[in-house]
Amino acid sequence: GAGVSQSPSNKVTEKGKDVELRCDPISGHTALYWYRQSLGQGLEFLIYFQGNSAPDKSGLPSDRFSAERTGGSVSTLTIQRTQQEDSAVYLCASSRNTGSYGYTFGSGTRLTVV
């Protein structure tokens, strides 16, 4: 596609429920990243996929968070048993390859846990 597409744009969920956030990267981009942005804060790295390599999961805050990338394209970030502190904007980005740092970000999914 023309840009990085994320869905849903907004998600309100009850504490304890599981949520799935979707990211559709730019066609041909082999690297995909998930970041989290809390209100008024900078971006916090979560996980990074590059081609068929094992993902870098070093930023995932707990084992309630997981992500997968199917077929080297679409990615899903799953948060199990959501907590109020999970409320944030979850941003996905993609880049052409490992040598390209100028990510293209999606508009994010705003997650609110009530």
Partner 1 sequence: GESVGLHLPTLSVQEGDNSIINCAYSNSASDYFIWYKQESGKGPQFIIDIRSNMDKRQGQRVTVLLNKTVKHLSLQIAATQPGDSAVYFCAENWGAAGNKLTFGGGTRVLVKP
For partner 1, the binding residues (CB under 8 A) are 4, 31, 33, 35, 40-45, 48, 50, 56, 58-59, 91, 93, 95, 98, 101-108
Closer to partner 1 by Cβ: residue 28 or 42: 42
Closer to partner 1 by Cβ: residue 59 or 72: 59
Q: How far is the CB of 75 from partner 1 (least distance, A)?
A: 15
Length of the chain: 114
Q: How far is the CB of 43 from partner 1 (least distance, A)?
A: 4
CA dihedral 101, 34, 6, 52 (to 10 degrees): 80
Count CA atoms closer than 13 A to 103's CA, side-chain side: 17
Q: How far is the CB of 101 from partner 1 (least distance, A)?
A: 6
Please name which of 34, 22, 14, 10 lies closest in space to residue 81, comparing C-alpha atoms. Answer: 14
